[in-house]
């Protein structure tokens, strides 16, 4: 199957972005990637969470205006951290001919991480956009890692994650090339 990317934009919804760490910077990165993906003919798939405090149709549930999907873009609705669980994400990606998902969104250690790992289990290559995911702004993090540490930690984990037969890359948005096919992963690439 020829290499084909899809950009995933996970949970960039009004109520979640309102509590995000560095929301303006993350929005700008994702919006720029979205524009580049569309220009390259790469599909954009928006993932939208629904649940307590995120009821469908409410303002908090809506995708932020900067990333609002167009009529020709797929939107997948989910009710858990796993964007594949009980959704049509896998079917949507297969219909698009996707072999690699470029992952962005909220929240780093929950929905972004869970979806990235599930993408690998569903046999997709993964690009985690190092500066294109964020978490909640926790000034008093208590038992949690600070937002900076959480993002850095997850980027580093994915740089060293080994998944047989899958390419896993962590790239800043500026290095994401929607036209380039990933090289097969080797043990040296993960170090």
CA-atom Rg of the chain in angstroms: 16
The residues assigned a catalytic role are 111
Q: Is the separation of the CB atoms in 74 and 92 below 8 Å?
A: yes
Best CA proximity match to 156, nearest among 106, 41, 164, 148: 148
The CA distance from 70 to 68, in Å, is 7
Q: Report helix, strand or coil for 132.
A: strand
CA distances from 156 to 130, 132, 169 (A): 9, 14, 10
Q: Which helix (H) or strand (E) holds 39?
A: helix 23-39
Q: What are phi and psi of 87, to 5 degrees?
A: -130, 175
């Amino acid at each position: 199957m020829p290499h084909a990317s899809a950009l995933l934009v996970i949970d960039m919804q009004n109520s979640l972005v309102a509590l995000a760490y560095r929301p303006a910077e993350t929005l700008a990165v994702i919006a720029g990637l979205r524009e580049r993906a569309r220009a390259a003919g790469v599909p954009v798939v928006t993932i939208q969470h629904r649940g307590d405090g995120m009821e469908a149709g409410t303002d908090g549930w809506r995708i932020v205006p900067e990333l609002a999907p167009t009529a020709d873009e797929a939107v997948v609705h989910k009710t858990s951290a796993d964007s594949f669980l009980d959704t049509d994400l896998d079917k949507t990606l297969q219909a698009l001919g996707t072999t690699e998902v470029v992952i962005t969104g909220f929240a780093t250690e929950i929905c972004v991480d869970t979806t990235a790992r599930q993408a690998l289990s569903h046999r997709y290559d993964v690009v985690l956009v190092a500066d294109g995911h964020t978490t909640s702004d926790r000034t008093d993090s208590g038992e949690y890692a600070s937002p900076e540490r959480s993002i850095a930690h997850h980027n580093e984990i994915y740089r060293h994650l080994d998944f047989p037969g899958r390419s896993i890359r962590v790239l800043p948005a500026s290095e994401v090339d929607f036209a380039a096919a990933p090289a097969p992963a080797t043990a040296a690439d993960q170090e």
